[in-house]
Amino acid sequence: MDVFQSRLRSAAGWLLLVTTLMGMALLLPRSTFDPESVDFILLLGVIGIWRYSMGAVHFVRGMIFLYLVFPWYRRKVRQLGEQAAPSHVFLLVTSFRIEALTTAQVYQSVIREAIACGYPTTVVCSIVERSDELLIESLWRQMNPPERVSLDFVRIAGTGKRDGLAHGFRAISRHLPDDDAVVAVIDGDTVLEQGVVKKTVPWFKLFPNVGGLTTNEFCEVRGSYIMSEWHKLRFAQRHLNMCSMALSKRVLTMTGRMSVFRTSVVTNPGFIADVESDHLEHWRLGRFRFLTGDDKSSWYSLMRLGYDTFYVPDASINTVEHPPEKSFIKASRKLMFRWYGNNLRQNSRALGLGPNRLGWFTCLVLADQRVSMWTSLLGPTVAIIASLKYGFAFLMVYLLWIGLTRLALTLLLLASGHKVGPAYPLILYYNQIMGALVKVYVFFRLDRQSWTRQNTKLNRDLASFSRWFNTWSSRAMTFSAGSVFLALLMFVV
């Protein structure tokens, strides 16, 4: 019955979306759809088509990787057979302030995979609370793994995920693993799909220079319908972008939910230091350490150390998402602030590695991340200015264009293998505008960071003048950049 109701709601949503777009088209003057007219609707698309060019390139590259290149790679992995087997597998799980039901689901899946993979395996639990340890021990006794599977606890203070990872990496180092061992780093809200270990660990034998790889993600959201759809859309887009970057072995993040590394990487003191105490020297904000963004730090460290990165689209995990707020607007804004902050803090120094290390396409993608905050605001700003100056029809044309293009983008996501819903076109546009505004805000406040799972913020202990200068210089630069952007568009229009 629930499946039927879900399908009925989805069908009603698609019908409402298409009907709304048709209604908007009927309200516009007939000249809008006349190819001879100067205000032909496609002209609006021509003006902004370059904004979609990067997305089109990612889509084509992603399809080439997903349906042509990766299947060929997978056949080569199968041909290796037992030669691709690792000497040992470490499953490092970090848990802090996650509800007991989710923790139980996660560790059941981890222990199940340790048993099913057939390799000598050590489950390393980086935990804070004694209650988590008791829960894990109870599950361990119930599932009764064989002797080749062992359990190792690492108790830490609740000082953040970076410390939890660093202590876990050092615990793995004390096992003295050889070069053929691998480490899977798993977040405390990540449930492993069956077979994910056997699907990921052989790739290190096929690609000797791959230092880390990450996996496909699906999610279960403990929140509202719109929050659930928002997360699912994000994972569908992530899948296509990961496939695109994997074509050149330059996946741009080692996702904290589950990524797999060579042990020679995670036992490298330089890599551990990058994850534990990563920091940035900013020309205006000074030196500050990174509170969040361990996935970006690990990626940057791999690039700096000379490794490649990869993506395995047929190896899946399920994440249990707990929105930080009941309100969709507040929750999405908080999450965007954390995600985009992590991205922008790594962006400039990653570009400093240069095309010789990253490749020209990766440098182009990183540069596009810096300008997309402004290009995303270009269309709505011009449409509003033009409607105020020349008439409301300009805004209606723009909204119709947004509806049609977002509908097309939603349908293209079907090729990713992820399900799509009727709310996706609206969420895509919401992400464009809200995401751009958050990026602009955080770009001038890179030192401001906070977790969403726990109420932890970066305290830099700055002098009163330094705090005052950072606050007001950030406000002044945000206002100046926004004013210049708006003035240029008003001049052009």
Which residue's entry shows tokens 């990450």?
214
Measured distance CA(372)–CA(211) in Å, rounded: 29
Query: Can you give the pLDDT at residue 312?
Result: 97
Q: What domains are there in the chain, each with its CATH number?
A: 1-53+369-492 (no CATH), 85-354 (3.90.550.10)
392-417 burial code (b ≥16 CB/10 A, e <16): ebbbbbbbbbbbbbbbebbebbeebe
The band of 10, judged by pLDDT with boundaries at 50, 70 and 90, is: confident
Q: For 483-488, what is the mean pLDDT?
A: 88
Measured distance CA(242)–CA(108) in Å, rounded: 28
Mapped onto helix, strand or coil, the DSSP state of residue 207 is coil
Whole-number Cα distances in Å, 146 to 113, 119, 158, 230, 468 = 12, 11, 32, 41, 60
Measured distance CA(90)–CA(260) in Å, rounded: 9
Residue 272: count of CB within 10 angstroms of its CB: 20
Measured distance CA(338)–CA(318) in Å, rounded: 21
Q: For 242-271, what is the mean pLDDT?
A: 94
The pair phi, psi for residue 133, each rounded to 5°, is: -60, -45
The band of 360, judged by pLDDT with boundaries at 50, 70 and 90, is: very high
Measured distance CA(296)–CA(292) in Å, rounded: 9
State the DSSP string of 45-109: HHHHHHHHHHHHHHHHHHHHIIIIIHHHHHHHHHHHGGGG--S-EEEEEE-SS--HHHHHHHHHH
This prediction's pTM: 0.89
Q: For 130-159, what is the mean pLDDT?
A: 91
Q: For 48-76, what is the mean pLDDT?
A: 88
Q: For 35-59, what is the mean pLDDT?
A: 61
pLDDT tens per residue across span 371-427: 888 888 888 888 888 788 777 777 887 888 888 888 888 888 888 888 888 889 999
The band of 37, judged by pLDDT with boundaries at 50, 70 and 90, is: very low
Instruction: Kindly tell me if the per-residue pLDDT of 40 is higher than 50.
Output: no
Query: Can you give the pLDDT at residue 270?
Result: 92
